[in-house]
Amino acid sequence: MPVTPTRWLAEYAWLPEHAEPTPDVLIEVEDGRISVVTPLTPGSRPPAGVEVYGDAVPLPGLTLPGLANVHSHAFHRALRGRTHGGRGDFWTWRDQMYAVADRLDPDTYLALARAVYAEMALAGITCVGEFHYLHHRPDGGAYDDPNAMGAALVEAAAHAGIRLTLLDACYLSSSVDGQALTGPQRRFGDGDAARWAERAAAFQPADSHARVGAAVHSVRAVPADQLDKIAEWARDRPAPLHVHLSEQPAENDECRAVHGRSPTALLAEHGVLGPGTTAVHATHPTSVDLTLLADSRTGVCLCPTTERDLADGIGPARLMADAGIGLSLGSDSHAVIDLFEEARAVELDERLRTRRRGHFAPLDLLTAASVAGHAALGWTDAGRIAVGARADLVTVRLDSSRTAGVPPVGAFFAATAGDVEQVMVDGRVVVADGRHLGVDVPAELSAAIEAVIAS
Ligand SMILES: [Zn+2]
């Protein structure tokens, strides 16, 4: 194994709370943590091309803190480009997604997730929140190890060199009124929340790159009388708790018809909301819902490229931010894995809705993509280039055909995942010269997807 240098000289680095990147920052790394962050004074900067800081390795371009992908279903990556041409909506897409789910086992899922997480590493993602509900065999029976699928995901993240929060999702019913799981959904279910809790508690990966959190799949998939148990499980640990919320107007309508209240109000009543909770999507909340989310300090993970792809609608991002709701970002269905695109979509979608510009500052977008995302996944010591933080450094080229001539502060409006040149996770370089050091990403993606797509 090549030894990773411990002193770096970033041409630009985006430091915490700074409105724009700082030039010429010396960053030192020790035992996976950032130990020194020193912006050089103008007089002490090295002349162009001259190395005056001994063994400090130059990082040309813009160095960002690690990006966090807060919402992932790794197997959805197999559907990219296969479901986008025709008509249909979320529900027709879901049927295609179930067909892939039906073909996965711990081995094929390990191969697919390893390639998907490596694609994420290439995009500058140092941590992923995997919202995991493919727990059992296709007929609903448990594997010999009931957490074999979760273990495959943890191992996949280790191969890809990124951290993972396994958000173990409770998924019990197929509709808001509690219909049983059928067909491909059978493998998602544990029967009830108590059995879910037992299985989830038994999964304790020893690997330092992984932690376990909880998830309520949605108010469709968890009956109201099972919600408290899941909330309690997460609160007791404490562990992050995530929930799909109001992605579809139909979910709101059904919840009102069955429970006489919105999904957000139902979750609030059963203790699901709170500072450790992240609501995913929240695309169609009422103003009362927003108050419930804000008052309980529940965060929201927006997934703009998925919401765009599935014709879900545009979440009220500015209203949420104004209410004090912390925003993070996820690539969810992986139609796109590019947090630059997710981040700028938060601003650009708001422009489309309001026909005005300038809703979010570049620092707001960086915060959502980095420190807020890591916090939503339980890694409160990551996502900042600061002394003591985990040494996650993502260096973006400023000389590509897309970024040449772009000021560093404009990177979130110009760069793509393809402009990421180097990625360090916990002090270890996993991407160099734009290539993953352990995984042949295109080849492994092709092979893994071919193995699970119906012929
Ligand atoms: Zn999702």
Distance 269 CA to ligand 1 centre (A): 23
Of 168, 332, 419, 426, which is the active-site residue?
A: 332
Residue 92 is predicted with a pLDDT of 76
Give catalytic status of residue 332 as yes or no: yes
Distance 438 CA to ligand 1 centre (A): 28
Distance 3 CA to ligand 1 centre (A): 38
How many CB atoms within 10 Å of residue 181?
Answer: 18
Residue 310 is predicted with a pLDDT of 85
Which of 40-54, 156-170, 211-225 is predicted with the least confidence, judged by mean pLDDT? 40-54
Distance 129 CA to ligand 1 centre (A): 10
Give catalytic status of residue 281 as yes or no: yes
Output the average pLDDT for the chain.
94
Distance 57 CA to ligand 1 centre (A): 39
Residue 98 is predicted with a pLDDT of 85
What are the two backbone dihedrals, phi and then psi, of residue 246, each rounded to the nearest 5 degrees? 45, 45
pLDDT at 2 over 60: no
* pLDDT digits 0-9 by tens, 125-138: 999 999 999 999 99
**What percentage of the chain reaches a pLDDT higher than 90?**
87
Distance 72 CA to ligand 1 centre (A): 7
pLDDT at 29 over 80: yes
Of 73, 281, 359, 374, which is the active-site residue?
A: 281
Residue 290 is predicted with a pLDDT of 98
Residues 34 and 387: beta-carbon distance below 8 Å: yes
**Minimal CA–CA distance to 384: which of 4, 122, 12, 18?**
18
Distance 73 CA to ligand 1 centre (A): 6
* pLDDT digits 0-9 by tens, 61-114: 999 999 999 999 999 999 998 876 666 677 777 888 888 888 899 999 999 999
> Across the strands, what pairs with 37?
27
